[in-house]
A and B are shown apart, each in its own frame.
Chain A
Amino acid sequence: MWALRQTNALQKAFNSSSRVRCYSTTVRLFKNDDKKDTPKYQTINNTGLSNEEIEKILKEEEAKMIAKQKARFVENWKPGMRKKPLQASFKLEEFEYELEPEKHLPRWTLLDKRCGALAIKVGMMPVFDEWGVRHPCTVLFMDQNIVIGHKTMEKNGYIAAQIAAGERKRKNVGKSVLGQYQAFLSEEENPPYLVREFRITDESLLPPLHSQIHARHFVPGQNIDVSGISKGKGFQGPMKRHNFGGMPASHGVSLSHRAHGSTGQCQDPGKVFKGKKMAGHMGTERVTTQNVRIIKIDRGRNLLYVLGAVPGNKGHFVEVRDAVKKPLWGTDKVLDAIDRPPLPTFEFEKIDGSGTAHEVFMPLPATDPFAPDDEEAA
């Protein structure tokens, strides 16, 4: 009786609205029944609908759920792509880009990489700007950076540009290495000192073969990452190597003022863990300094004046790449507030910059940084 009442109610509901759940109760059979032939669960259809109709409704619901899931899934999604339409933003340009993406160039994001360069660390000197602020700068000399080769997805499985820099005496370079450069080296020219690869995200960003990368490849005001082999410090104790605290100079400390102290626990674990910080060789390893700002570029002599210190010794090569974390594209801190660097590289004819300095400074603040704060408060 109860079942009948329920089915009548369901039928009414089914006729009145389109959203109805089809019920069919299931009854669990006793344990002693044969498990192979008979099913574990027996379905009893206590709705007024036939089995076919129930199946049809169930399929429709399933299709709806699948469609909902698919709608959330964006095909060919790339990092930076939007999954839902833009609703709010601090910049008007983003709405323009949403409405007409074809008119604007594809964005230059943090994940996009272009070619870097090799430079010699020349030394440090101060640079005064027009406001009178003294910037302690390292001078990097981009010595004849020539693109030797390309690495592509078809041949190598990754995209990169091979860049050669510097000069070496022909007698110091082996024949096997000379053979690599025969394509673009004449008999008078010296082979390069160093060859390094720089990873790139897209094949259209590969600079053309045998082209030179000048200092203007970089923009004054941008941030760069500089990687070099740090100065060698030799065998050093843990205080210098790992910033250990050491022990007091007096008060009974015996023979261990600069020692590392305990190396572990007792019987458990009963060993010293691998990687325990101890004394050892320090320095002469690859180190990257991130977010180093370019203060000034000397276009004639291919010099980069870069704020702060850079790993390595004077006269040694360092790798210079756009900053991975904070390159400052699109901000006021970069010259002309450009939103992307020159791609794939800056092209201009050979300029013999000997003796002349064409210096381009980074954009300076609008107000005097030495002005006292009372004026702003007033």
Chain B
Amino acid sequence: MLDCCARTGEEKETRALHAASAGRRVVFMGDDTWKDLFPGAFSQAFFFPSFNVRDLHTVDNGILEHLYPTMDSGKWDMLIAHFLGVDHCGHKYGPHHPEMAKKLSQMDQVIQGLVERLENDTLLVVIGDHGMTMTGDHGGDSELEISAALFLYSPKALFPGAPPEEPEIVPQISLVPTLALLLGLPIPFGNIGEVMAELFSEVEDAQPHSSALAQASALHLNAQQVSRFLHAYSAASQDLQITELHRLQNLFSNASADYQRLLQSPQGAEAALQTVITELQQFLRGVRALCIQSWARFSLGRMAGGAALMAAACFLCLLVSQWVTSPGFCFRPFLLIPMACGLAGTIVCAGLLTTTGLKLDPVVLGAVAAVGSLLPFLWKAWAGWGSKRPLAALLPIPGPVLLFLLIRFAAFFSDSFVVAEARATPFLLGSLILLLIAQLHWEGKLLPPKLLTMPRLCFPASTGPPRHSGTYALGLGVGLLLCIRLAGLFHRCPEETPACRSSPWLSPLASMVGGRAKNLWYGACVGALVALLAVVRLWLRRYSNLKSPEPSVLFVRWGLPLMVLGTAAYWALASGADEAPPRLRALVAGASVVLPRAVAVLAASGLMLLLWRPVTVLVKATTGAPRTRTVLTPFSGPPTSQADLDYVVPQIYRHMQEEFRGRLERTRSRGPLTVAAYQLGSVYSAAMVTALTLLAFPLLLLHAERVSLVFLLLFLQSFLLLHLLAAGIPITTPGPFTVPWQAVSAWALMATQTFYSMGHQPVFPAIHWHAAFVGFPEGHGSSTWLPALLVGANTFASHLLFAVGCPLLLLWPFLCESQGPRKRWQSLGNEAEARVRPEEEEEPLMEMRLRDAPHHFNAALLQLGLKYLFVLGIQILACALAASILRRHLMVWKVFAPKFIFEAVGFIVSSVGLFLGIALVMRVDGAVSSWFRQLVLAQQR
């Protein structure tokens, strides 16, 4: 049972808190959900566990044990008994079951017993807060579910006449004012219910006049309260209809004046009182209708329009991402000119608006820019594409990854799956990884391990030479699954699943008691930091050059350890601030302000340095003839198939050719001065990884200490995933570079998975507000954007990191190119030789292959960005559709709407991050170009 609002058969329910505040003794017995809803409101309470749907009797029997003794003791003003058996029985057996008959007859006996014991001044109220469907469930908005019985009884006669055959339907909100007035309490301010006037008639007097007067005064009290509420509400918010509001206010003032006049002259006719009563009732109902109309108003047209716009944007993303790499695409006519058009249109529009003195609306300007750039693009595209070729040729061929995207799309429409997304995403991600490995196997991209030689199901033969062994890919996959599994240990439970228990590791260390465990955890967190640093440095040492004298490299060597130190020191202060001796208090407070800011400033300065000098290349001028060395991919065993022969024979030929050329050149004299540039092959990814690390540290500081382990896992698993994906992406030189869909989908899934393992949930109560006080322990004063930025950075850290790191998907296969020869070097055991003569080792081209084809490089970057936007776009489209289609669903405000808002903000953050990541790659590209130019100039001199 997910919905905790399932209660049946309550007695005497009212605003327990109000009664308690007015000094009434409120006794409660039953469902323990009340304990959390109204803590400390009851003078006496008997709670029983209620979440097991199969348990029909614990709560009811517990109540029955205490009900009659409590009633007889008389120590209560209000007694609430919340029976739960009928509801559970409905869920478990349905309404037409012998168990239900037993349960209902038991409830009958309870009511009979209560009726016998009631005293004259007591009112028995039996209500159910919902009905049930024919299957015994509830939660929807069908008539059977939203209607329930209301039974009022008192030994004293309540109603003037016989009750009508067809009693009128009383809205549930009318219980609050009725019970409040009956108990002699003020009606709660926010109430818009209407008192049940019949209950206030003086039956025993037998005078119709006094009865009507009592009803009118009750209604008048109620109407006064509602009028006050209406006044305050309409002053604060403008969404009520003005004319209707005025009409209602006039109605109330008229009725109120009539009522006052009738009070002055009590001999007035009963008919006049009746009109006052009708007028007051009209006013109350009018207010209710007005509020319902204004509060639960959905603009279907706007919803449909927004969804259509989003769907169109997604479709355009898909089309353009496929089109970009096709040969007929040029950047200038298709993208630059429409962009210029859009910008010009916006400027003209803004100028017009300012000259005419109208208010500048950013939404209008954005729309003008979008339309202004889109229309020329579509026009050009239509002309360039030609009407002969079918549009469907552009659409990607559906593969198994489409199934994953579809599952993900569909899962947003089920509240259970949205609630369980924290567990469903790792499941999907793990499946995708296994699928990737299986695909590598079937497509023959792996060298078959020697042990298992399985005949293949007649699948197409290998398309390219196998680059990696099966155990390598399997090892990567197992490592990835292990990382995901470990990251799954950090999870926060959604409110809807009471059986789930949140991970205790998400709380800050300061909340821990027990010094030893705290110290151990602190050590583990610092260890995670150091490991993160070590991983990044190891990677940079392997693929890039840590010896380069460039400032950004120096920063990585010295600045990053400083940041680790600062973070560790801050954590030590934060987790042990309470234990500090009093004279050090000021120092500790000062340090906890300074340290996080210092780390953030260091990270920002590192990023600035990186942007200033992004090329991390070690240049050495040497003399000697350039020697080229062919790369022989390791190949074991005799060639078995035609494909192998096609691969091996040219290699042998090329090798022999090189040998001959080498011998010829050796006889010649030494060549001119040459320049050796090291690690040019990884300039792009080195800059990306450095930037990501620099971004990760301030983000890490905003989280609880132990989440640093998740950050470590994040880096590890994204490295592993990139390696695994790189094994499956063929390097096509010089051809168009593409990043396959499964890579982008896995990347997006991993972003979501990390969002959850960092302890977030897409609901507002789960936001980590404490992030706003990192570095600002005293608060922020009146500024709002800084805390919003900090909390946003905390919440969407994984979205940001993965979006910025997205270009790595394109770069990594080229990076992995270097692995083959390196392995050969190491396996030969010639490390000493390599160290002595490092100049002789010719680097493979690696990422310089991208520079060799700048047009394709740009196209691939654009395509990658569009694909990532598409994958994120269909997620947000699914969320928007779910929230609008299921707008009458019980869970819409609890699940679907918050999910949509989180997904939308995450989308914005991801788009910005993606833009930044691609901009960084472009910046590096420009810097490399100018570096080459300088080199050529220096050579010429």
Q: Does A pair with B?
A: no
Q: Which residues of B contact A (CB under 8 A)?
A: none
Q: Which residues of A contact B (CB under 8 A)?
A: none
